[in-house]
Amino acid sequence: MTQAHTRTPIHARRTRNILLGVLFFILGVIGILIPVMPQVVFFLMSLVFFSMAFPSLRRRMRRFRKRHPSLERAYVKWRERGRKKRQELIRKAYSRGVATALFFTTDDVRADYEALKARGVEFTEPPEERPYGIDCGFRDPSGNHYRLSQLTNVATPA
């Protein structure tokens, strides 16, 4: 007795890459027939998508790049430029404090605010009255944001 074949995300990704490769190949052929439309870009895109679907084509492309050093240098430079852009975006996101959601509670926010400020902590907001108590915001040296709160007894509806 055999099991039914289930579709995995890898199958869906391969099918998508094949369909996109066919689509860009057809657009490249249309580009040959209509001189206004570029065809080289579409043929290259179809080659990229087909290479993601078929490992043998990917190996042939890699061998072709290795046989042509100027093409290989341009490819490496392009990949490095993209890697640097991604790293910079991640660095900027972390410097804005996207990775933190920490709240600290205390009995006296104003006294702790003054003590921490005297030690050189960079506050983004001074202590302010809020519906839930007194609250202020500060950052660590990496740029992550934190909140310091003094909660008041809020009556709960009965």
Q: Pick one of 3.30.470.10, 3.40.1030.10, 3.10.180.10, 2.60.40.10 as the CATH number of 102-151.
A: 3.10.180.10
Reported as a single tens digit per residue, the pLDDT across 106-121 is 999 999 999 999 998 8
Reported as a single tens digit per residue, the pLDDT across 48-104 is 999 999 999 999 989 998 999 998 999 899 889 988 998 888 777 766 655 555 888
Reported as a single tens digit per residue, the pLDDT across 21-55 is 999 999 999 999 988 888 889 998 999 999 999 99
Contact 136, 113 (CB under 8 A): yes
Contact 132, 149 (CB under 8 A): yes
Question: According to the model, what pLDDT value does residue 126 have?
Answer: 93
Question: According to the model, what pLDDT value does residue 158 have?
Answer: 52
Q: Identity (one letter) of the amino acid at 14? A: R
Question: According to the model, what pLDDT value does residue 81 have?
Answer: 93
pTM for this entry:
0.47
* Angstrom distance (rounded) from CA 110 to CA 133: 12
Question: According to the model, what pLDDT value does residue 131 have?
Answer: 83
Print burial letters for 121-146: b (CB count within 10 Å at least 16), e (below 16).
beeeeebeeeeeebbbbbbeeeebbb
Question: According to the model, what pLDDT value does residue 130 have?
Answer: 86
pLDDT of 7 > 80? The answer is no
Residues 6+ apart with CB under 8 A from 140: 146
Question: According to the model, what pLDDT value does residue 9 have?
Answer: 78
Question: According to the model, what pLDDT value does residue 3 have?
Answer: 63
- If one compares 8 and 42, the residue with the highest pLDDT of the two is 42
Q: Identity (one letter) of the amino acid at 29? A: V
Report the SS3 class of residue 127: strand
Question: According to the model, what pLDDT value does residue 110 have?
Answer: 94
Strands 133-139 and 145-151 turn out to be antiparallel
Question: According to the model, what pLDDT value does residue 100 have?
Answer: 53
